[in-house]
A and B are shown apart, each in its own frame.
Chain A
Amino acid sequence: MFRYVIRRLLISAVILLVISFITFVIFFALPSNPALLACGKTCSVQRLAEIKHSLGLDQSFWTQYSEFLKGLFAGRKFGDQSVLITCAAPCLGISFKTDEPVLTTLFNRFPADLSLALGSAVIFLIVGVGLGVIAAVRKGKLIDKVAVSGALFGVSLQSYFVGLLLMWAFVDKWQILAAPGYTPITQDPNAWFQGLILPWVTLVILYLAMYTRLSRSSMLETMGEDFVRTARAKGLSRRKVIFKHALRAGITPIVTIFGMDLGSLIGGSAVITESVFGINGIGKLAVDSVTDSDLPVIMGTTLFAATVIVLANVVVDIVYGVIDPRVRLA
């Protein structure tokens, strides 16, 4: 098991290296001039060259890439004698717009992102799998039809629509909730929770359908397996047959999808929900950095999202090993 995890981590490191290279190539291929952006509107030719030099943009592609990689482990210094910005390791560069190290920006945004992703993921996993199991067990009955069609209805809606609708109903009309937004949990847990209810619900509505359908079909498949029949033939109660025998085997495809969904949610894919509710997460950061042509931040967010997704997949593989003993030995 230990060697298995180590191997998975090493493979992940290689994948991340490749991704960093690709993002760097794209960085180079883009037609904008970062030095010009950093310089501002009134910019002399000499000033531009200085900035270009201080950002290392006058060097060759390979030198820049190796500088970037070095920065990840040793940190970097930007600027000249007049303005010196130190970017401690692991350094992903500094934002052209704010002069802040990209990693610091990411870490400032990360808690909001994580709260949004984890909270909604826990709900849609539990509710989705629960509904799926119930639908599978009561196949063809009313509750099955309601669960499946209700889930389909949810997924057909768009998050900006759902989000706005929820805000209108709960905040404006009935005034049950305060305006949603992000308050750090360390600052005020109650406000944190209240502000995130609607964003969570929005994401849950979006993701629930897939989990319901996936776990329903997976459960239906495993309930037809021979070992489930064996479990019944032992005289086990229905509850034990369903939860201990069928669900344990039926949960594996859900674990895979969940790992990826959680990874991409943490990595900032909930950008529309973030925007609707005014939460400054990483998704919003990525979009803003594209509008501002803030290339180090674009790269930083891309790499960050990739890292989270790759790590989530490592976790999925480990969980797989825990669930299925056949994987453990492979």
Chain B
Amino acid sequence: MAIELSPQSVDVNPPSSFLEVRDLRVHFPTEDGLVKSVDGVSFSLEKGKTLGIVGESGSGKSVTSLSLLGLHKGSRAQVGGEIWLDGEELVGMSESQMRGLRGRKVSMIFQDPLSALHPFYSVGSQIAEAYQVHHKASKKEAKERAIEMLKRVGIPQPERRAKDYPHQFSGGMRQRAMIAMSLVCDPELLIADEPTTALDVTVQAQILDLIRDLQEEFGSAVIIITHDLGVVAEISDDILVMYGGRRIEYGSVNDVLKSPEHPYTWGLLQSMPHLGGDVAQRLNPIPGSPPSLINLPSGCAFNPRCSFKEQVPDGRCTVERPELLPVLGSDKHIAACHLTGEHKAEIRRGATSGAK
């Protein structure tokens, strides 16, 4: 049984947003200590909008999304905070209530479709099954619906391909099938966990287009989880940057990508290749590796890898955890960094002149 750390937080009123996550905490007790996979994450999302959650492996992106489906229930995870979806609170919800929402109201496109689809059942039957869970439909109706969905996601000869097994599909087709399965009940919230990671670039673009088209058609809210800022820039309205299970920067795509405020976001942007860039120029990776989620570095969790901590006086970065503060001149852009505005402006000027 999941143990709720604090089922009722300060604010118990259902919020006005379609999805609102408040101070979400997902902790896993292990022999080595408490793994704080998600530690105080909040965000909100409206219908028809897309949120991109960005971060390295182990930053808590996937754990966050799994808690939106209540998939930590029954595990040893301790889930705290609040998740409000369309006026309903999901964290304290019973497993059977949650089951009614899964696949119907909230559904998920998983990362690696080859392992996420059952190898022993045909693609069509797996999609039909997802439909039958929430609809009183005969086998034939569900099968027709599955074929219709496969057609919708652009699988040629859907009647024939529905009888095929996942291993008979190509990578891109499998991801399409996965998308068809997650959309079969017209979910209002669609979570895509690294939907394009295993795919090549052309297929990647097709899949993103597909998600966007389907979003327009159904008006769903979409959360896209990725470590690829290119994907986020293309598809999202908002960005949430996570590091060590915490939020470090959150705002609209425009704000975050045009004027990133956190050195980690800078690092993510710099480690991306540019299409028009010099081929000889080496990519600029973020030094070091993601922190242990059991013992996060004190102060700012990013400080051991941050090359600007010297510019903050009194070593505050290693001692004091930076608060998420609103960025001047934008309505919802927030970032957690001790650097002052002037410092950042200076560093950014230096970076642009250095790159030239």
A interface with B by C-beta (< 8 Å): 225-227, 229-237, 245, 248-249, 323-326
A326 in contact with B119 given A230-B110, A232-B102 (CB within 8 Å): yes
Whether the Cβ atoms of A248 and B102 lie closer than 8 Å is no
Whether the Cβ atoms of B120 and A236 lie closer than 8 Å is no
Chain B residue with minimal CB distance to A232?
B71
- Measured CB to CB, the closest approach of chain A to B73, in angstroms, equals 9
Cα separation A237 to B129 with both chains bound (whole Å): 12
Whether the Cβ atoms of B117 and A324 lie closer than 8 Å is no
Whether the Cβ atoms of A229 and B129 lie closer than 8 Å is no
A235 in contact with B100 given A226-B110, A325-B120, A325-B165 (CB within 8 Å): yes
Chain A residues near B37 (CB-CB < 8 A): none
Whether the Cβ atoms of A249 and B119 lie closer than 8 Å is yes
Total of A-B residue pairs, C-beta within 8 Å: 67
Chain B residues near A232 (CB-CB < 8 A): 71, 102
- Measured CB to CB, the closest approach of chain B to A259, in angstroms, equals 19
Given contacts A226-B116, A234-B107, 12 further A-B contacts (CB under 8 A): A225-B115, A226-B112, A227-B118, A230-B118, A233-B103, A234-B130, A234-B133, A235-B99, A235-B130, A235-B134, A324-B120, A326-B119
Whether the Cβ atoms of A245 and B103 lie closer than 8 Å is no
**Which residues of B, 93-151, contact A by the 8 Å Cβ criterion?**
99-104, 107-108, 110-112, 115-120, 122, 129-130, 133-134
Cα separation A235 to B108 with both chains bound (whole Å): 11
Whether the Cβ atoms of A233 and B129 lie closer than 8 Å is no
A227 in contact with B115 given A232-B71, A326-B167 (CB within 8 Å): yes
30 A-B pairs within 8 Å (CB atoms) are namely A226-B111, A226-B112, A227-B116, A227-B117, A229-B71, A229-B116, A230-B110, A230-B181, A232-B71, A233-B69, A233-B71, A233-B102, A233-B107, A233-B108, A234-B102, A234-B103, A234-B133, A234-B181, A235-B104, A235-B130, A235-B133, A236-B99, A237-B99, A245-B118, A323-B120, A324-B120, A325-B119, A325-B120, A325-B122, A325-B167
Taking a contact as CB atoms closer than 8 A, the residue among B99, B120, B133 that contacts A249 in the complex is: B120
Whether the Cβ atoms of B120 and A248 lie closer than 8 Å is yes
Chain B residue with minimal CB distance to A322?
B120
Whether the Cβ atoms of B165 and A230 lie closer than 8 Å is no
Whether the Cβ atoms of B129 and A234 lie closer than 8 Å is yes
Chain B residues near A326 (CB-CB < 8 A): 119, 165, 167
Whether the Cβ atoms of B110 and A236 lie closer than 8 Å is no
- Measured CB to CB, the closest approach of chain A to B79, in angstroms, equals 15
- Measured CB to CB, the closest approach of chain B to A27, in angstroms, equals 46
Taking a contact as CB atoms closer than 8 A, the residue among A230, A236, A323, A324 that contacts B133 in the complex is: A236
Cα separation A226 to B103 with both chains bound (whole Å): 16
Chain A residue with minimal CB distance to B95?
A238
- Measured CB to CB, the closest approach of chain B to A180, in angstroms, equals 41
Number of interface residues of B (CB under 8 A): 27
Taking a contact as CB atoms closer than 8 A, the residue among B99, B100, B117, B167 that contacts A230 in the complex is: B117
Chain A residues near B130 (CB-CB < 8 A): 234-235
- Measured CB to CB, the closest approach of chain B to A322, in angstroms, equals 10
Against A, the Cβ 8 Å flags (1 = close, 0 = not) of B51-92 are 000000000000000000101000000000000000000000
A236 in contact with B115 given A226-B110, A229-B71, A325-B165 (CB within 8 Å): no
Chain A residues near B167 (CB-CB < 8 A): 325-326
Cα separation A187 to B103 with both chains bound (whole Å): 57
7 tightest CB-CB pairs across the interface, nearest first? A235-B102, A235-B103, A226-B115, A234-B103, A227-B118, A226-B116, A234-B130
Cα separation A245 to B118 with both chains bound (whole Å): 7
Chain B residues near A325 (CB-CB < 8 A): 119-120, 122, 165, 167
- Measured CB to CB, the closest approach of chain A to B183, in angstroms, equals 12
Chain A residues near B100 (CB-CB < 8 A): 235
Chain B residues near A248 (CB-CB < 8 A): 118, 120
Chain B residue with minimal CB distance to A249?
B120
Chain B residues near A233 (CB-CB < 8 A): 69, 71, 102-103, 107-108, 110
- Which of A234, A236, A324 counts the most chain B CB atoms within 10 A? A234
Chain A residues near B122 (CB-CB < 8 A): 325
- Measured CB to CB, the closest approach of chain A to B120, in angstroms, equals 5
Chain A residue with minimal CB distance to B108?
A233
- Measured CB to CB, the closest approach of chain B to A292, in angstroms, equals 51
Chain B residue with minimal CB distance to A137?
B74
Chain B residues near A225 (CB-CB < 8 A): 115
Chain A residue with minimal CB distance to B114?
A226
- Measured CB to CB, the closest approach of chain B to A302, in angstroms, equals 37
Cα separation A249 to B117 with both chains bound (whole Å): 12
Chain A residues near B104 (CB-CB < 8 A): 235
- Measured CB to CB, the closest approach of chain B to A205, in angstroms, equals 32
Chain B residues near A229 (CB-CB < 8 A): 71, 110, 116
Chain B residues near A235 (CB-CB < 8 A): 99-104, 130, 133-134
Cα separation A248 to B118 with both chains bound (whole Å): 10
- Measured CB to CB, the closest approach of chain B to A243, in angstroms, equals 13
Chain A residue with minimal CB distance to B164?
A325
Cα separation A221 to B262 with both chains bound (whole Å): 40
- Measured CB to CB, the closest approach of chain A to B252, in angstroms, equals 29
Chain A residue with minimal CB distance to B98?
A235
- Measured CB to CB, the closest approach of chain A to B115, in angstroms, equals 4
Cα separation A230 to B107 with both chains bound (whole Å): 10
Chain A residue with minimal CB distance to B112?
A226
Chain A residue with minimal CB distance to B99?
A235
Whether the Cβ atoms of B118 and A249 lie closer than 8 Å is yes
Chain A residues near B107 (CB-CB < 8 A): 233-234
Cα separation A211 to B165 with both chains bound (whole Å): 29
- Measured CB to CB, the closest approach of chain B to A229, in angstroms, equals 7
Cα separation A231 to B116 with both chains bound (whole Å): 9
Chain B residue with minimal CB distance to A326?
B167
Chain A residues near B108 (CB-CB < 8 A): 233
- Measured CB to CB, the closest approach of chain A to B168, in angstroms, equals 8
